[in-house]
Homo-oligomer: A and B are copies of this chain.
């Protein structure tokens, strides 16, 4: 499981075997079953979590009891939101497994130590953070200026393959529309992709 994390980092940064041993000694494996929480709103998060397999949603429940999904996390990416990662503050969002999920955790102090001691690691995390931030910025642009249909396509591109792994109402929540609207939208899209011979009935 740690191998998946190692493979992910190795694609971006060359790290000596000695340093890998150090990183490995800090890594904590964690299994979640479907519907288990990685983090609950209001609790304090003291770790970073890398997803090896499975997927999770990060969301908030509003005053009316409606759930709003801000982010999905798939395999080979970091789970959860940064909001919950600012030390000391209670999380505003919850993160929950949507499938059985395998993670590698690094507790904050350990992670800081890795950043400080492994050459290039801090800079890599910094870059990862910037890329991640840039993608959130794009998402704001999507949410503000795209139609429901364009937002749906953006979702399909952002999370390839995810649309068949999770219920549709969660996609709707992520897009900021109702499940009914998404259902109608998809029906419409399917219609426009219909072969001609099927549309020219007597």
Interface size grouping (class) on chain A: 20 to 34
Among A80-95, those with CB < 8 Å from B are 81-83, 85-86, 92-93
- As a 0/1 sequence over residues 145 to 157 of chain A, the CB contacts with chain B under 8 angstroms (1 = contact) are 1000000000000
> Which of A17-25, A127-135, A178-186 interfaces with chain B?
A127-135
A86 cross-chain contacts in B, Cβ below 8 A = 130-131, 134
Give chain B nearest CB distance to A31 CB in angstroms: 26
Among A168-183, those with CB < 8 Å from B are 176
Q: Does A137 contact B (CB under 8 A)?
A: yes
A7 cross-chain contacts in B, Cβ below 8 A = none
Tell me the dominant secondary structure on chain A's binding face: helix
Which of B83, B93, B122, B138 touches A83 (beta carbons < 8 Å)?
B138
Q: Does A28 contact B (CB under 8 A)?
A: no
- CB of B125 within 8 A of CB of A70, answer no
- CB of B126 within 8 A of CB of A122, answer yes
A82 to B133, CA, bound (A): 6
15 extra interchain contacts, Cβ-Cβ under 8 A, other than A62-B145, A122-B122? A71-B137, A81-B134, A82-B130, A82-B133, A83-B134, A83-B137, A83-B138, A85-B130, A86-B131, A86-B134, A129-B130, A132-B133, A133-B136, A140-B143, A145-B176
* Top-5 shortest CB links A-B: A144-B176, A83-B134, A68-B145, A82-B133, A82-B134
